[in-house]
């Protein structure tokens, strides 16, 4: 039995952000398992099994992948961005933690990828150039008061903040609650950027400020970046302004 489970980061949308390691692993896998749009991004190969499933069944998907690896198959679980950042890697290890003892002897490897946050930052300039944090606004698995506490400490600690999952069908206005909370701690001119569908045809970037930020600009494919005191905007005449966070304390 020489099964193995690879948890592969596809990067955000554009195949040019795939690493060599991820490419080789996808080419050699027997089973490709993941959320439907991510599986669709992997070119089909003869002899490869493809198991696409809904976004809400992460643990089921992880268990299926582990069971197949335990049967000796070479399985690739695919994730958009980096599987280690708000994605499938934690779900797989959670399944191992609660699963049969034999799963702990499996060969499981996480293959990092470019995260949505990094791709968004690259398009803007260098907003994550100094101390930053990443917070998921999804309250599927944690209550709002935990999220609110993290937002408060992030603001008080003067971190650049990257917000994942700022909106969903179940809670489209959650981002407005976050903006309202942050306005109590941060100046109105604090930089806010919306990066939507980075690397896709409908990519859209909006630069604004906290006192003018409107939550109706976000959807499930939007990453929101909120600046710190060291975040600067470089005015440009012929193109979108650049944004960076100075490495110097202010």
Farthest CA pair distance, the chain: 62
Nearer to its own copies, 46 or 234 (CB): 234
Q: Report in angstroms how near the CB of residue 27 gets to its own copies at its nearest.
A: 13
* Minimum CB distance to its own copies, residue 140 (Å): 8
- Give the DSSP H/E element, type plus range, for residue 195: strand 191-196
Q: Which is nearer to its own copies, 32 or 228 (CB)?
A: 228
The SS3 assignment for 73 reads coil
Residue 17 or residue 46: which is nearer to its own copies going by CB? Answer: 17
Distance between CA 201 and CA 88 in Å, rounded? Answer: 25
Which of 187, 230, 237, 227 shows the shortest CA–CA distance to 207?
A: 227
Closest contact distance (angstroms) between CB of 142 and its own copies is 3
Cβ(44)–Cβ(3) below 8 Å:
no
Looking at the Cβ atoms of 39 and 88, the one nearer to its own copies is 88
Backbone φ, ψ for residue 237 (5° rounding): -85, -35
Contacts of 196 (CB under 8 A, 6+ apart): 202, 203, 204, 205, 206, 217, 218, 219, 221, 222, 223
Least separation in angstroms between residue 146's CB and its own copies is: 5
Residue 36 Cα distances to 42, 158, 229, angstroms: 10, 38, 40
Minimum separation from the CB atom of position 169 to its own copies (A): 19
The residue among 194 and 244 lying less far from its own copies, judged by its C-beta, is 244
For residue 219, the minimal CB distance to its own copies (Å) is 21
Return the ∠ at Cα 43 (arms to 37 and 44), rounded to 5°. Answer: 100
Q: Which is nearer to its own copies, 63 or 245 (CB)?
A: 245
């Amino acid at each position: 039995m020489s099964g193995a489970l690879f948890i592969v980061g596809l990067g955000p949308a554009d195949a040019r952000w795939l690493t060599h390691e991820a490419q080789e692993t996808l080419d050699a896998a027997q089973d490709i398992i993941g959320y439907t749009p991510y599986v669709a991004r992997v070119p089909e190969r003869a002899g490869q099994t493809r198991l696409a499933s809904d976004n809400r069944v992460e643990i089921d998907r992880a268990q299926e992948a582990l069971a197949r690896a335990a049967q000796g198959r070479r399985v690739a679980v695919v994730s958009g961005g980096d599987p280690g950042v708000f994605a499938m890697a934690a779900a797989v290890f959670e399944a191992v933690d609660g699963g049969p003892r034999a799963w702990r002897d499996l060969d499981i490897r996480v293959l990092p990828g470019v995260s949505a946050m990094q791709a968004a930052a690259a398009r803007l300039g260098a907003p994550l150039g100094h101390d930053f944090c990443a917070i998921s606004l999804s309250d599927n698995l944690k209550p709002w008061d935990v999220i609110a506490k993290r937002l408060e400490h992030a603001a008080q600690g003067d971190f650049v903040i990257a917000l994942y999952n700022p909106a969903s069908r179940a809670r489209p206005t959650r981002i407005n609650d976050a903006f309202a909370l942050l306005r109590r701690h941060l100046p109105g001119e604090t930089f806010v950027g919306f990066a939507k569908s980075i690397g896709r045809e409908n990519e859209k970037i909006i630069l604004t400020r906290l006192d003018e930020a409107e939550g109706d600009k976000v959807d499930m494919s939007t990453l929101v970046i909120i600046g710190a005191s060291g975040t600067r905007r470089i005015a440009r005449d012929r193109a979108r302004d650049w944004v960076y966070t100075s490495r110097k304390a202010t």
